Amino acid sequence: MSIWPSIKTITSDVASRKSSARDMVEKSLQIIEEHGEFKAIISLTKERALKRAEEIDARIAVGENVGRLAGVPFIAKDNFLVFGAETTAASNILRGFNAPYQSSAIERLEAEGAICVAKANLDAFAHGSSTENSDYMTTKNPHDAERVPGGSSGGSAAAVALSMAPFSLGTDTGGSIRLPASFCGVVGLKPTYGLVSRSGVVAMASSTDVIGPIASTVEDAALVLECMAGKDELDGTTIERDSQDYSDLKPVDLTGIKFGIVKEFFGSGVDESVRGSIDQAVNQIKSAGGEIVEVSIPSIDLALAVYYILCPAEVSSNLSRYDGQRYGHSDRDAVNLEESYAKSRSVGFGNEAKRRIMIGAYVLSSGYYDAYYQRAQLVRTKLINEFNKALESCDVLVGPTAPVQAFKIGENIADPLAMYLIDIMTVSANLVGIPAISIPVKSNNSLPVGLQLMVQQKQDKMLLEVAKKVEEVAA
């Protein structure tokens, strides 16, 4: 349970001067300090945050309307370019990199009065599912400090679960918002591909990278989306908004809504504890009037393989810009440029980044391109067609967010394949580009379980409305 009231309450209290932006920022910084042992935070943007809070309070004092997030502190994953702190993406190669500009998502939130107070830990370059691939530290799960928070936005999810701020930002390339939200017991929204600008966010795999909020409630996540969504001339893949107001969630009656239970998500790899909670949630949806049908999307069984070909291919291309000359770490002992590239990269990149660069370069190389990259693209198209068909026969697809609950730190680290398997339920939404959300549902033990809902592209508003109702009946 978050100690923060809803974001709407915070902004109305700040706007009516019942509290101040400065109080909110100080409270957030204090909670961050109190929970330092969870290692959720890489750096603070304290000075800038306090200065912004004072400016906001001063504007309110003269009667100005500051915006829909006036005085709300938040935490950004450390792959967002934010003024006032380094942007490291939790990698050694970007250590010391100060962004010369700020990401569009942060700009938009700031324009509404929100205040970034800190940068959260992640798997380096967002490659991972546990934050154990961070070059700096492993974040601990707030529900059990011996376990991982999920990844790659593990610091962002743990921060919200620990009430360090009312919301945080994450990125989701193959599940990195939803998986940690599920492991930490908070709400994680991956919007439709292109709905939120990626400008100023360290690129992982550009054809699936998406930005979204992590919050305590669906309502709060919706308000954050509302303040970020829409076309941005700095990101050519952004799309027009399809809703006037994503946060104006109308109450929905589940009667008449068809929930498609995705058969492939209930196979043998799913833990009993997860299965039990999800079954229970589905029963509650049914009791509240929802129509439950079973759907099959056979290519889901191939989605993980497709993702782990296409993603490293894009990663190997995106990481080529870190050559030790333009950003962050640069080897000073090299005798020529070639050696400088090699030495800067071999020291600056961790094992997982190197693994992905090698796999990516391999699947793109001549002689293997047709067998791997091109075939994976064909299966991706098949997957998109199957999802579209399934979403014609029902309104919302339902399943667990992950096959397991938070696992022990170290449990999967020596086995990359076991780690990749954790993403089996999240990667499809990225490959297809549809919006998906993870919401906490009743768990039968002390660790959280996330329920995943997915809808057609550009139905983000409907997804949020349904999720809000499901949150009411199944949490």
Nearer to ligand GLN, 106 or 126 (CB): 126
> Which residue is associated with the tokens 């439950």?
292
330 noted as active-site residue: no
Smallest distance from ligand GLN to CB 260, Å: 24
Q: Which of residues 304 and 390 has its CB atom nearest to ligand GLN in the complex? A: 304
CB-based burial of residue 378 (10 Å sphere; 0-12 exposed, 13-18 middle, 19+ buried)?
Answer: exposed
Residue 446 in tokens: 């002390």
Asked if 309 interacts with ligand GLN (CB under 6 A), we say no
Residues 394-433 that bind ligand GLN (CB under 6 A): 423
- The span of 44-52, 95-103, 127-135, 267-275 binding ligand GLN (CB under 6 A) equals 127-135
Q: Which is nearer to ligand GLN, 129 or 168 (CB)?
A: 129
Stretch that binds ligand GLN, among 120-128, 223-231, 279-287, 294-302 (CB under 6 A): 120-128
Q: Which of 311, 313, 437, 455 binds ligand GLN (CB under 6 A)?
A: 311
* Size of interface with ligand GLN, in residues (CB under 6 A): 14
Catalytic residue, from 27, 39, 77, 140: name it.
77
Instruction: Say which of 2, 20, 152, 330 is annotated catalytic.
Output: 152
> Where in 134-153 is the site for ligand GLN (CB under 6 A)?
152
Tell me whether residue 28 is one of the annotated catalytic residues.
no
Cα 315 from chain centroid (whole Å): 17
Angstrom distance (rounded) from CA 40 to CA 156:
7
Peptide bond before 152: cis, by omega within 30 degrees of 0? yes
**Closer residue to ligand GLN, CB minimum distance, 40 or 72:** 40
Q: Residue 245: which residues within 8 A CB-CB, separation 6 or more?
A: 226
Q: Is 129 in the site for ligand GLN (CB under 6 A)?
A: yes
Using the minimum distance from each CB to ligand GLN, give the nearer residue, 102 or 412: 412
Residue 128 lies near ligand GLN (rule: CB under 6 A): yes
- Concerning whether 468 is annotated as a catalytic residue, the answer is no
Set 2, 20, 130, 176: catalytic member: 176
Contacts of ligand GLN in 158-177 (CB under 6 A): 171-176
Tell me whether residue 335 or residue 417 sits nearer to ligand GLN (CB atom): 417
Are the beta carbons of 429 and 380 closer than 8 angstroms? no
| Choice from 89, 114, 161, 204 touching ligand GLN (CB under 6 A) | 204
Q: How far is the CB of 318 from ligand GLN (least distance, A)?
A: 12
User: Interacting stretch for ligand GLN, rule CB under 6 A, among 125-133, 161-169, 324-332, 374-382?
Assistant: 125-133
Task: Report in angstroms how near the CB of residue 71 gets to ligand GLN at its nearest.
Answer: 30
Interaction between residue 126 and ligand GLN (CB under 6 A): yes
Q: Is the Cβ of residue 126 or residue 160 nearer to ligand GLN in the bound state?
A: 126
Query: Which C-beta is closer to ligand GLN: that of 38 or that of 125?
Result: 125
Q: Does 28 bind ligand GLN (CB under 6 A)?
A: no
* 443 lies in the site for ligand GLN, by CB under 6 A: no
Options 68, 119, 127, 329; binder of ligand GLN; rule CB under 6 A: 127
Active site residues: 77, 152, 176
Chain residues that interact with ligand GLN, rule: CB under 6 A? 126-129, 152, 171-176, 204, 311, 423
